[in-house]
Amino acid sequence: MTGHPCPLCGACAAETVFDRRNVPAHQNVVCETAEDARRFARADLVLAFCEKCGFVFNQKFDSGKLNYSAVYDNSQAHSAFFQRYLRDLCDYLRVKYGLRGKRLVEVGCGKGDFLRLMCAGGMNRGLGFDPSYVGPETGEEGAIHFVKAFYGESRCDRAVDFLYSRHVLEHIQDPAKMLRSMRKALGDDANSVIYIEVPDLAWILDQAAFWDFFYEHCSYFCAGTLRRACQAAGFEVERTFPGFGGQYLCLEARCAPGCHARAKPDPGELGELRARIGHFRKSVEERMQTSRERVMALRERGPCALWGAAAKGTTFANVIDPEARYIRCLIDINPSKRGKFIAGSGHRIIAPEDISACESEIRGIFSMNSNYFEEQRAKLAQLSLNIPLIPL
Ligand SMILES: [Zn+2]
């Protein structure tokens, strides 16, 4: 038990879920040299579970440790599988909400890929906010404007029909404030809609996916917690549903008129979450140990690699092989990561095309995300590489 108040509901009863000290502050920033990577800023990840509302948050989070500058790169746009996911999501949202000739706002648009998709062919007008955005300030012949800064409703000086935010809320220390600010930007038009997408806490807990808990993410939601947080901010939640093979939690809501009472959690739902946390606590050490043993067993035959040098791969490598002694390298299809080093452990990142240069050495590759497994296997086949690809 700790006395640190819950950022979502203010309650003081929070219990530790997962405790990892001195982890790299960023997972989606790569370094020029192994030395830079090992000197990368570190911080503590101490996740606590709020008994009152079900929110899970990093009690030791200090936003000053993070820097979402242009070098921050969490783009998955190089994957055909991910592109398909974005296209399907775009089609779904456009059809369901009749998004044609509408004014869209994306909070945390990254490099702008999804906003361009939503506004393609002059279909809609878009405004995207992200301090890590790189590129021209306008796109789609002036239909899109990018603001290289954090979102704030004061920056949003035009009427908005549809506001969405994908994988942002988990980076925010005070998500309630962020949701209120989104609500304010939408005004009182009951036709205005929001779409929110975050990692699903329930999925992480069920899988004991320790590589999905990292410093950049200070806030974790299950469906009930996210629904109540949106209701408290003045939204009427239409539905929550799983996305991306269950890894994501998605929410659609409309603006609710009037004042907003904080909805109480269902005791059954909180009990279910508590049971999931109990399962995670019991199984996570074993999961780490098994992962270590699998890496070591593979290494008996020769060096191994991880496929995926984003947050999951970086976290996994830092937990399992913090001194970069057993995992030879990380493979990633993002060309801007090629030849760079992951923060913390300093493992080198190579492109798939570089594998053949060390084919005689690499005896096995662990795939960091089951969603990309087939795509990775196809790439190995295309490169005529006969190296076993192993799911985690
Ligand atoms: Zn709480």
Domain boundaries, the chain: 80-268, 299-391
Predicted pLDDT at 262: 67
pTM for the model stands at 0.94
Residue 187 pLDDT: 84
Ligand 1 centroid to 83 CA: how many Å? 35
Cα 301 to Cα 232: distance, rounded to the nearest angstrom: 55
Tell me the CA–centroid distance for residue 12 and ligand 1, in Å: 8
Is 299-391 in the same CATH topology as 80-268?
yes
Distance 110 CA to ligand 1 centre (A): 29
**pLDDT number for residue 356:** 87
203 touches 276 (CB < 8 A): no
How many helices (H) and strands (E) are present in the chain, helices listed first?
Answer: 9, 19
Distance of alpha carbon 134 from alpha carbon 117, whole angstroms: 17
Residue 301: burial class (beta carbons within 10 Å; 0-12, 13-18, 19+)? exposed
Residues with Cβ within 8 Å of 230's Cβ and at least 6 positions away in sequence, in order, are: 179, 194, 196, 237, 251, 253
- Distance from the CA of 268 to the center of ligand 1, in angstroms? 16
Q: What pLDDT score does 327 carry?
A: 95
CA of 51 to the centre of ligand 1 (A): 7
Residue 220 Cα to ligand 1 midpoint, Å, equals 11
20 CA from centroid of ligand 1 (Å) = 21
**Ligand 1: distance of its center to the CA of 56 in Å?**
8
- Ligand 1 centroid from CA 48, angstroms: 10
Q: Which residues of the chain have pLDDT under 70?
A: 1-3, 153-154, 156-157, 258-262, 359-360
Return the pLDDT at 121.
Answer: 79
Say what the pLDDT of residue 265 is.
83
Q: Check residue 357 and report its DSSP letter.
A: G
Give distance in angstroms: CA of 89 to centre of ligand 1.
30
Tokens of 169: 């809320």
Distances (CA, A) of 76 to 2, 90, 249, 282: 37, 16, 17, 32
Phi, psi of 197 (to 5 degrees): -135, 130
Alpha carbon of 223 to ligand 1 centroid (Å): 14
CA of 225 to the centre of ligand 1 (A): 9
Beta bridge partners, 163, equal: 105, 194
Assign domain 80-268 to its CATH superfamily.
Vaccinia Virus protein VP39 (3.40.50.150)
- Ligand 1 centroid from CA 233, angstroms: 14
DSSP-derived secondary structure letter, 333: S
Distance 49 CA to ligand 1 centre (A): 8
How many whole angstroms from 355 Cα to the centroid of ligand 1?
Answer: 47
Q: Return the pLDDT at 272.
A: 95
CATH number for the segment(s) 299-391 = 3.40.50.720
- Cα 22 to ligand 1 centre (Å): 25
The CA distance from 327 to 353, in Å, is 18
What's the pLDDT score for residue 359?
54
Cα separation of 112 and 26, whole Å? 21
Q: What pLDDT, on a 0 to 100 scale, did the predictor assign at position 303?
A: 85
